[in-house]
Amino acid sequence: MSRVAIVTGGSRGIGAAISVALKELGHTPVAVYAGNDERAREFSEETGIPAYKWDVGDHQACLDGCAKVAEEVGAVDIVVNNAGITRDGTLHKMSFEDWNEVMRINLGGCFNMAKATFPGMRERKWGRIINIGSVNGQAGQYGQVNYAAAKSGIHGFTKALAQEGAKFGVTVNAIAPGYIDTDMVAAVPEPVLEKIVARIPVGRLGHADEIARGVAFLASEDAAFVTGSTLSINGGQHMY
């Protein structure tokens, strides 16, 4: 059955791979983006996937944006909360703005998008919310107290909301990617990246489509008995 899916941060990197994977499964994905109009236009032209622009950290923008998607595309049954930013620095040097912006978008975006779509999923007795966490939210990372806290918060948010959605046929799960070969990781200085790869047992960075396949499973009917779970896709970098 075809479902309407919203993928935040859905026109680049991991989000783009997720959007394409959901389309290939017969769903109707909508990519949400915040700023890069040119990239969003290119993505839509290449894939035929519509792109809608709003800031997931803006609560009202999420309510309005999701309502617009529901009106123009259809009722939203799948949400992938993938949008995220980094503002790295040690606590000694990190500004409140750097802390607050990461929390507002990375964690606040999950709340905002759930508030906009969860009620409809409950009413229709079917839904999938998939939150993209991070290995650094599980294990921590030097210079990322903001990012690690937000991503760790996503894992807790997932477990709590899963309990609310279970009896309504709404599953809520998370994926915790390791280091993936995206633009965000490409910005890491080469010497630092080499040290990171050296800590990954499989000896390489992950690929965006490997995360997308995990999302595709969690969004499927086959995953109806999976909720409140975090799927770690990190090449063995963090095991527990």
Residues classed as catalytic:
147
Distance between CA atoms of 240 and 92, rounded to whole angstroms?
30
Sheet (strand 76-81) strand order: 51-53, 28-33, 4-8, 76-81, 127-132, 170-177, 230-233
Cα 158 from chain centroid? Answer: 12
The DSSP letter of residue 17 is H
Q: Tell me the Cα Rg of the chain.
A: 17
Strand 4-8 versus strand 28-33 pairing type: parallel
Instruction: Show Cβ contacts of residue 102 under 8 Å, excluding neighbours closer than 6 positions.
Output: 85, 86, 87, 146, 147, 150
Strand 230-233 versus strand 170-177 pairing type: parallel
Distance between CA atoms of 54 and 45, rounded to whole angstroms?
19
Can you tell me whether residue 174 is helix, strand or coil? strand
Distance between CA atoms of 123 and 170, rounded to whole angstroms?
10
- The residue behind tokens 């032209």 is 45
Distance between CA atoms of 128 and 5, rounded to whole angstroms?
9
